[in-house]
Amino acid sequence: MRSGFTSNGKISALYDNNFYIRELYYPYLGQYNHSVGGYFKIGIWHDGKFTWLDQINDKDKKIYMDNLIVNAEIEWYNIKVKFSDVAIFSHSVIIRKVDVKGEGYIRIIFYHDFKLNGNEIGDTAFYDPELDSILHYKDNTWFLIGSSHKLYEYTTGRRDKKEVLNDCEDGTLNKNSIAQGSVASAISIAYPSFYYFIIAGETFDHVVSIYKEIKENPEFHYAKNKFYWNSITSEFTDNLAKISLAIMLGHIGDNGAVPASLDTDILKFNLDTYAYVWPRDAALTAYVLDMAGYSSFTRKFYDLVFHKLFENGYLFQKYNPDGTWGSTWHSWTARTKKSFNIQEDETSTVIWAFWNYFTKSRDYDMLKNIYHTIRDAADFMVKFRDEKLKLPLETFDLWEEKLGVHTYTVASVYAGLKAASNFANVVGDEENMKKWNDVAEEIKNSLKNYMFDKERGIFYKFINIDDGKITSVDKTVESSILGIVTFDVFDINDPIVTSSINEIINKLWVKNIGGLARYENDSYQRIEGDYNGIPGNPWIITTMWLAQYYAKKKDMNKAKELLAWAEKHSISGLLPEQISPFNGGPLSVMPLLWSHAEYLKTYLMLK
């Protein structure tokens, strides 16, 4: 879990509760992490005493977000230090503004825990006296660390032997000028106010040219970026809405990649992260940004997904930020005549979200270039169905756990085909307009006829099918049934919607802390404690789905209560994936992009 995030679409950093950079990505958001498992520590030396920030009492540290500017206020032995970081939009640079107040001799020490390109093999770190800066490089990845003011001291050394880390703690750096292999570095600065830079580039000359430009007027670069973000979020009065908007925009890479989360703390569970592009998560984020009027940003995502990611009419589970396939656990043995190892809702959601983009942007230029891809995707959804039941065949659910025909997926396919039919109407493709609309209606009818449990008054989580026969049903009460609301499959006042939502609230509301669990007996990310009577950890996403249901029902008070619940559980302006059902603390990754998207969507629906 993280307490801060800054990004410009090419370089990004995440901060822990000590204001240490824990992830540093360049040139793609989510690829590559140049500090995997590391800590960019900060130390203070004051009249012979030294401390790392993590050794200071939490009550004397304040970390908070101001749009995409990460701030820290530190108090220690009658001195106050304020740090303020921003990734500037003009270059791959993070600028840190530092202000120190207090009597005596004070030095700030910055420790650089690089693992270039995601590993610590074959790195070089050296001090350049002409630039008065430290540089790290490997292959075509370069980082320059410098300041607006003269460095007091510097050093480099073996990272794996903790040479630099130990050297910092006496407050005096030994000025070792070069190291190679597994390396780290540190610099110290002894001025009351100064700027500190982390500059990324492809060559020595590249980072040096940027450094010279930034150093010439660092205040200008810092101030214009602060003003830029204030301008973007100025229409919102709600602070978490402002930060959510900034975080969502900050997750859009220059190449259009939109990773789900850049927090790598999740590594300890399965040696993998959320730093991938799930087309569903990205499309839902783009949908909300388009609602808010920021289509100029989301165009990059649609350009990537339609021109590079779609293959044979469908989308893979997830992608690396450079557009290559990401890791997967969806077995190839699921590729049978009745099933496929994808999540079909990712394909359908992209088409549905793109229609929203088009209605906001009127981007006919993009439509004319990608309509053939929309046609292929719609034809895939039409053909990938059981001939008798008229339902989609089996794929994995949005939680990536179960193979079957899922209520949420069916709802999204309905919406995707409706959107495709709308596009066909725009371009005059009358035959497909009718076909895709007719198939969408068939799917809607089959969803109601075969997947609604009349006895319990709720839709099944999923069913399994084989050649026109339903072979099994899963009666687990599932929050994603709210997909029928998200995708407007049925009238919001239809009794089958009302009864389904009532059952979801009855079985999934976490009574002692609030919030909606994903489904009954959800074991993902459970923590130590007595879960008796608790269906699972409450999620921000699912709770916001419920708030959106209330908003569509015009029950604004209940929707606002749930919005306030989410805001209550934010930390430093960041929203996690899940909440502890025992103390309300954050669980899993933070920030989770999808959580912020659903929060902002709910906020916009209530404006």
How far, rounded to the nearest angstrom, does the alpha carbon of residue 19 sit from its chain's CA centroid? 19
Q: Which domains does the chain have, with CATH numbers?
A: 2-231 (2.70.98.10), 235-606 (1.50.10.10)
- The interaxial angle of helices 430-451 and 407-427, nearest 10 deg, is 160
Residue 306, classified by CB atoms within 10 Å of its CB into exposed (0-12), middle (13-18) or buried (19+), is buried
Please tell me the distance from the alpha carbon of residue 408 to that of residue 9, in angstroms, as a whole number. Answer: 31
Would the CA dihedral through 424, 429, 432, 434 be positive or negative?
Answer: positive
pLDDT of residue 1: 83
- How far apart CA 309 and CA 461 sit, in angstroms, is 29
Contact 159, 182 (CB under 8 A): yes
Of 257, 267, 269, the C-alpha closest to 323 is: 257
Q: pLDDT, tens digit, for every residue of 257-300?
A: 999 999 998 886 678 999 999 999 999 999 999 999 999 999 99
Burial (Cβ within 10 Å: 0-12, 13-18, ≥19) of residue 479: buried
Tell me what pLDDT residue 266 has. Answer: 85
The model's confidence at residue 465, banded by pLDDT at 50, 70 and 90, is very high
Q: Which two tokens stand for residue 274?
A: 């959320």
Alpha-carbon span 417 to 263, nearest angstrom: 34
The DSSP symbol for 324 reads: S
pLDDT in tens, 220-260: 999 999 999 999 999 999 999 999 999 999 999 999 999 99
pLDDT at 443 over 80: yes
Using left for φ > 0, alpha for ψ between -120 and 50, and beta otherwise, residue 532 falls in: beta
pLDDT value of position 98 = 98
> How far from chain centre, in Å, is Cα 62?
23
Alpha carbons within 13 angstroms on the beta-carbon side of residue 409 total 28
CA separation for the pair 432, 443 (Å, rounded): 16
DSSP state of 555: -
Nearest to 273 by CA among 167, 130, 118: 118
Strand ranges (E), 102-201: 106-112, 123-128, 133-138, 141-147, 153-158, 178-181, 183-189, 193-201
CA–CA dist 403, 342 (Å, integer): 9
pLDDT band at 371 (very low <50, low <70, confident <90, very high): very high
For 479-524, what is each residue's pLDDT tens digit? 999 999 999 999 999 999 999 999 999 999 999 999 999 999 999 9
The one-letter code for the residue type at 130 is E
pLDDT, average across residues 573-582? 97
Yes or no: say if 132 and 144 are a contact pair by the CB < 8 Å rule.
no
Residue 163's pLDDT band, with cuts at 50, 70 and 90, is very high
pLDDT at 330 over 90: yes
Q: Which residue has the tokens 């794996």?
A: 160
pLDDT tens across 32-76, in order? 999 999 999 999 999 999 999 999 999 999 999 999 999 999 999
Residue 328 CB: number of other CB atoms within 10 A?
Answer: 15
Percent of the chain with pLDDT over 90: 98
* Distance (Å, whole) CA 385 – CA 24: 44
pLDDT for residue 295: 97
The mean pLDDT of the chain is 97
At residue 267, the pLDDT reads: 80
Mean pLDDT (whole number) for 384-396 = 98
Q: How far apart are CA 141 and CA 202, in angstroms?
A: 5
Please tell me whether residue 547 adopts helix, strand or coil conformation.
Answer: helix
For the segment 347-352, the average pLDDT, to the nearest whole number, is: 98
Q: Per the structure block, which two tokens stand in for 200?
A: 């990324």
Tell me: pLDDT of 6 over 80: yes
pTM score, two decimals? 0.97
